[in-house]
Amino acid sequence: MPDSQKILAFDVGEKRIGVAIAHIPPRVSAPLTTLLRNATFEQNLKQLIADHLPDMFVVGRPRNQSGDVTQQTATVEAWVESDLSGWDVPVYWQDESLTSVSAEAHLKATKKNYTKSDIDAYAAAIILTDFLEANTV
pLDDT for the residue numbered 3: 67
Model pTM score: 0.93
pLDDT for the residue numbered 69: 87
Architecture category of domain 5-134 in CATH:
2-Layer Sandwich (3.30)
pLDDT for the residue numbered 2: 57
Positive or negative torsion for Cα 81, 133, 33, 52: negative
pLDDT in tens, 1-11: 456 899 999 99
- Cβ partners under 8 Å of residue 107, min gap 6: 114, 118, 119, 122
CA atoms of 10 and 111, how far apart (whole Å): 25
pLDDT in tens, 61-105: 998 888 888 899 999 999 999 999 999 999 999 999 889 999 999
